[in-house]
Structure 1
Amino acid sequence: MSVDDLVTHLGVHRNSPYKTFGSKRGLYLMVLRRHLADDVRPLLDALAGATDAAAVLRLVTSADLDLLLLAAIERAPVDEEVALEVTAALATVDRAIADALGIFPPDLAAALTAAALGIPVRGDPDKVATALTHHLGPLI
């Protein structure tokens, strides 16, 4: 999205985003941080009440984590500040999953996080979650 697209969509003067956020990157970082607070934080709270792998997978696959995933794929490799935000967010999700399921070592929780985040990309979340739970059940 160009700055022109942004100001047209928002109906503001072309200089307004720069005055408020300093740059297009500044706006991106603000939106990413807001996403982490508004979408990832509630997921962490919900994971605290999860009691089994199926519940964890349902929570993670139903959460709106699109911006986190896009940031991880597109911006984190080229922007150190975005990489730090993404890494910290994913680490908190890993810890929440590990705590909810009593998983040790933490690497298993990271693998479960990666699998859960990939489920929407692969298709039917319920079908994939059921298969994962069936096969991971003995491990957790």
Structure 2
Amino acid sequence: MGRPRAFDEDQAVHAAVKLFGSRAYDGVSVDDLVTHLGVHRNSLYKTFGSKRGLYLVALRRHRADDVGPLVDALGAATDAATALRLVTSADLGLLLLAAAERAPADEEVAAEVEAALAAVDRAIAGALGIPADLAVALTSAALGILLRGNPDGAGTALSQRLDPRA
């Protein structure tokens, strides 16, 4: 009979989301994971199979814990300015890094990224009553603002221009 697990899997996955979301997949070594997650190397491999296995679990957790609440909030948006502010203020670091770094080379990651972005697009289209292609454009603009690293500058200026009350 094996020893009981000496770590909290939920906490380890949460820490992995933060680590991968700040440094990307290729920027995180197995040694980094062992150090930051407080998990022994053997336990990491036994539980997740590989670094990639943990990455996929972390990406799915990110979708559930960060993208899911964003989608819910977007469902109540009443205008494009609100939708833009919601997206540019969300913690989407892992999603953006996954889209840029891993999705082009990994079909499973690409599917997770596509599902997350499609959910955001549908929420925006439904809440604002706009065509799907316009929702994709709004999502793309918001993510572009995040990628440029200036959500409070460009994002605020653009959301003010889009605000029907302004």
What secondary structure is seen at the aligned counterpart in 1 of 2:59?
A: helix
Alignment deviations for residues 86-108 of structure 1 (CA, whole Å, 9 cap, x no partner): 0011011001011111101x111
The equivalent residue for 1:38 is 65
**Map 1:47-62 → 2, pairs under 5 A:** 47-62=74-89
Query: Is residue 29–residue 82 contact of structure 1 (8 Å, CA) maintained in 2?
Result: yes
Could you list the runs of 5+ residues in structure 1 that have no partner in the other structure? none
CA distance, structure 1, for counterparts of residue 52 and residue 156 of structure 2: 39
The equivalent residue for 2:143 is 117
Alignment deviations for residues 97-123 of structure 1 (CA, whole Å, 9 cap, x no partner): 11111101x111101101001113335
Q: Percent identity?
A: 77
Query: Is residue 88–residue 145 contact of structure 2 (8 Å, CA) maintained in 1?
Result: yes
Could you list the runs of 5+ residues in structure 2 that have no partner in the other structure? 1-27
What number of residue pairs does the alignment pair up?
137
CA distance, structure 1, for counterparts of residue 150 and residue 46 of structure 2: 43
Please state how far the C-alpha of 1:136 moved relative to its aligned partner: 5.7
More displaced stretch, 8-17 vs 112-121: 8-17
Mapped pair 1:20 → 2:47: yes
CA distance, structure 1, for counterparts of residue 155 and residue 59 of structure 2: 27
Query: Is residue 54–residue 129 contact of structure 1 (8 Å, CA) maintained in 2?
Result: no
The equivalent residue for 2:124 is 97
Please state how far the C-alpha of 1:134 moved relative to its aligned partner: 6.1
CA distance, structure 1, for counterparts of residue 40 and residue 151 of structure 2: 42
Query: Is residue 85–residue 156 contact of structure 2 (8 Å, CA) maintained in 1?
Result: no
RMSD of the alignment, in Å? Answer: 1.9
CA distance, structure 1, for counterparts of residue 90 and residue 120 of structure 2: 12
Q: With structure 2 as the length reference, what TM-score do the two structures score?
A: 0.75
Please state how far the C-alpha of 1:8 moved relative to its aligned partner: 2.5
Query: Whose helix fraction is larger, Structure 1's or Structure 2's?
Result: 1
Query: Is residue 85–residue 159 contact of structure 2 (8 Å, CA) maintained in 1?
Result: no
Q: Residue 106 of structure 2 aligns to which amino acid in structure 1? A: D
